[in-house]
Amino acid sequence: MLYATTLSLLALAFFSLASGTPSVASVYDCTKAKGVPIVKPGDSSFAELAEPFNLRLRYTPKVIVLPTTAQHISDAIICAGEEDGKIKIQARGGGHSYASFSSGGQDGSMIINLQNFQDIKLDKETNLVRVGGGVRLGNLAQGIYDQGKRALPHGTCPGVGIGGHATHGGYGYTSRTWGLALDTIVGLDVVLPNGTITYITDKQHPDIYWALRGASESFGVVYNFYMKTNPAPQKITYFQFHWNEILGSRQDFIDTFRHIQDFATNSSVIDERITFGLYIDGSTYRLTGSTFGPLDEFNEKIKPELFRTIKAPSSSTVESVDWIPFLISLSDQDSLAEPLTGYDKHDTFFAKSITVPESDGLSDAALGAFHDHINNDQNPESWYTIINLYGGPKSAVNAKTKEFASYAERNSLWVFQNYGVQTSSMPFIQKINDVILQAQPQTRFGAYINYVDPTLDAKTAHELYYGQETYEKLERIKKVVDPKMLFWNPQAIGA
């Protein structure tokens, strides 16, 4: 037994020498020969550049590439490819992947960090904006406003990167009106897995265009996005209500949410101009939203229907605000500006999502089970659930089909994000999903890929994010575009 093991180890060592497997140093030699800027373990800036947003999942890349040109990206990909598929590649935009996939999702990857691709250029004729692959959302929102009073739909956190956000959905307060960030893309400057530098649209490489918008991590590096902007609204109506006291009463909890769900699907009060979400934790039950409609319309027509049949909220805010102050108030910061290098905000967390099909909504049984679980006495110190309205009457998110892009969540009413701080919160967060799914066994729930869940095996992840038909199409394109599986993370297409 011992003898056999020793022999096979020897054989293995001999085989890799004899077969001329490139030595560990070669990706470094190759990038050096081509003049590609890299950072490797031991270099002074390596530790900081390798740090993901989510410090719970740290991985050590083999090499971090810091390209300043598309040619650098192409050369780096060719160098990784020469290692025969052994070095996997991931682009890094803002680094906010919940699973640290932009650190590879495993040790030993090549990370192509886009921090030098920070240009934001609005074309005043076409109102298209060209956005570098490393731009963060706060700088983007401020940049297009300053250049031409324009706006895009996207999430609220200024540090999130456009690179991951807009290629896996990208939901924010204006998404029911303007769609997801992904829906505004009309073209992409990309370096493909074979090193080709190309511009991709619905006419040029339509398959890759479809695939990148939903699964960019598996198909190349986007170094510029071209996106359709909207005029920034002069004023937006913002509202917030608290019903904290219902948390303790099972019946009030069910009744309140059931009414909010009826309200959310009532086309005499809800159209594409309005959106809202619920924030729930151990002591808070809060509804926050906004509408492009005027304050009076909200107060006179919409609010009365929201409050009809349920208890009055314990606190209310309804106000009309300017666009940039609105974005700042959602950001929890003093300004939207983020540093171009040296971004250093982090959290240590675990999150899961649930997408709730419009056809089913949430049942009283699911709401009761959710209530009972979050009222148990073994809750982690810090957790929350956010339930955002993606669907409902006239939602722009659900106006698109699966032919439009590989991003496949186009019929969800609600999207849950269940978020807990530290590894110790994982069983509690997992159980939020479990109790809701078990209480509604007939419903086909999915998951939101921008809240990528590191605990899912690849097959389950693909089924929840894409469904079978979309996934199989992605897999066919992957085999053509990236046969060596260079672009990889544990849940990538083909993993």
Ligand X SMILES: Cc1cc2nc3c(=O)[nH]c(=O)nc-3n(C[C@H](O)[C@H](O)[C@H](O)COP(=O)(O)OP(=O)(O)OC[C@H]3O[C@@H](n4cnc5c(N)ncnc54)[C@H](O)[C@@H]3O)c2cc1C
- Choice from 114, 135, 182, 192 touching ligand NAG (CB under 6 A): 192
Where on the phi/psi map is residue 234: left (φ > 0), alpha (ψ -120 to 50), or beta?
alpha
Interface stretch with ligand NAG, choices 68-76, 263-271, 428-436, 445-453 (CB under 6 A): 263-271
CA distance 232 to 303: 24
Q: Is 147 in the site for ligand NAG (CB under 6 A)?
A: no
- Choice from 96, 352, 410, 473 touching ligand X (CB under 6 A): 96
Class of residue 35 by CB neighbours under 10 A (exposed 0-12, middle 13-18, buried 19+): exposed
Decide the pairing of beta strands 230-231 and 150-151: antiparallel
E strand or H helix that includes residue 178: helix 175-178
Window 291-320: contact mask with ligand NAG (x via CB under 6 A): --------------x---------------
Indicate which of ligand NAG, ligand X, none lies near residue 91 (CB less than 5 to 8 Å, by partner kind): ligand X
Tokens of 202: 């619905």
| CB closer to ligand NAG out of 194 and 230 | 194
Smallest separation (angstroms) from ligand X to the CB of 312: 29
CA distance 268 to 288: 20
Smallest separation (angstroms) from ligand NAG to the CB of 190: 10
Tokens of 157: 């956190």
| CB closer to ligand NAG out of 29 and 262 | 262
Subset of 160-179 contacting ligand X (CB under 6 A): 160-161, 163-165, 167-172
The answer to whether 349 touches 54, Cβ cutoff 8 Å, is yes
Interface stretch with ligand NAG, choices 105-113, 125-133, 150-158, 266-274 (CB under 6 A): 266-274
| CB closer to ligand X out of 180 and 432 | 180
| CA dihedral of 479, 485, 490, 492, whole degrees rounded to 10 | -40
Tokens 């900081």 correspond to 48
CA distance 492 to 452: 11
CA distance 433 to 491: 20
Indicate which of ligand NAG, ligand X, none lies near residue 390 (CB less than 5 to 8 Å, by partner kind): none
CA distance 343 to 51: 10
CA distance 365 to 304: 27
- Choice from 75, 83, 217, 482 touching ligand X (CB under 6 A): 217
Smallest separation (angstroms) from ligand NAG to the CB of 334: 39
| CB closer to ligand NAG out of 154 and 213 | 213
- Choice from 118, 266, 333, 375 touching ligand NAG (CB under 6 A): 266
CA distance 269 to 274: 9
Distances in whole angstroms, Cα of residue 38 to Cα of each of 50, 110, 190: 12, 10, 20
Tokens 């002069």 correspond to 234
Indicate which of ligand X, ligand NAG, none lies near residue 94 (CB less than 5 to 8 Å, by partner kind): ligand X
Indicate which of ligand X, ligand NAG, none lies near residue 480 (CB less than 5 to 8 Å, by partner kind): ligand NAG
E strand or H helix that includes residue 26: helix 26-33
Subset of 431-490 contacting ligand NAG (CB under 6 A): 480-481
| CB closer to ligand NAG out of 263 and 407 | 263
Q: Is 200 in the site for ligand X (CB under 6 A)?
A: no
Q: Could you say which DSSP state residue 396 is in?
A: S
CA distance 431 to 374: 9
Indicate which of ligand NAG, ligand X, none lies near residue 391 (CB less than 5 to 8 Å, by partner kind): none
Q: Is 56 in the site for ligand X (CB under 6 A)?
A: no
Q: What backbone phi and psi angles, to 5 degrees, belong to 256?
A: -65, -50
| CB closer to ligand NAG out of 97 and 261 | 261
DSSP-derived 3-state class of residue 483: coil
Indicate which of ligand NAG, ligand X, none lies near residue 157 (CB less than 5 to 8 Å, by partner kind): ligand X
The answer to whether 159 touches 53, Cβ cutoff 8 Å, is yes
Class of residue 7 by CB neighbours under 10 A (exposed 0-12, middle 13-18, buried 19+): exposed
Contacts of 452 (CB under 8 A, 6+ apart): 97, 98, 99, 101, 168, 461, 491
| CB closer to ligand X out of 97 and 406 | 97
Indicate which of ligand X, ligand NAG, none lies near residue 481 (CB less than 5 to 8 Å, by partner kind): ligand NAG
- Choice from 66, 91, 144, 336 touching ligand X (CB under 6 A): 91
Tokens of 121: 């250029």
Indicate which of ligand NAG, ligand X, none lies near residue 89 (CB less than 5 to 8 Å, by partner kind): none
Q: Is 30 in the site for ligand NAG (CB under 6 A)?
A: no
Q: Is 73 in the site for ligand NAG (CB under 6 A)?
A: no
- Choice from 21, 196, 251, 329 touching ligand NAG (CB under 6 A): 196
* Total residues belonging to the chain: 495
Query: By the criterion CB under 6 A, which residues form the site for ligand X?
Result: 53, 90-98, 101-102, 114, 133, 155-157, 160-161, 163-165, 167-172, 216-217, 221-222, 450, 489
Query: By the criterion CB under 6 A, which residues form the site for ligand NAG?
Result: 192, 194, 196, 262, 266, 268-269, 305, 480-481
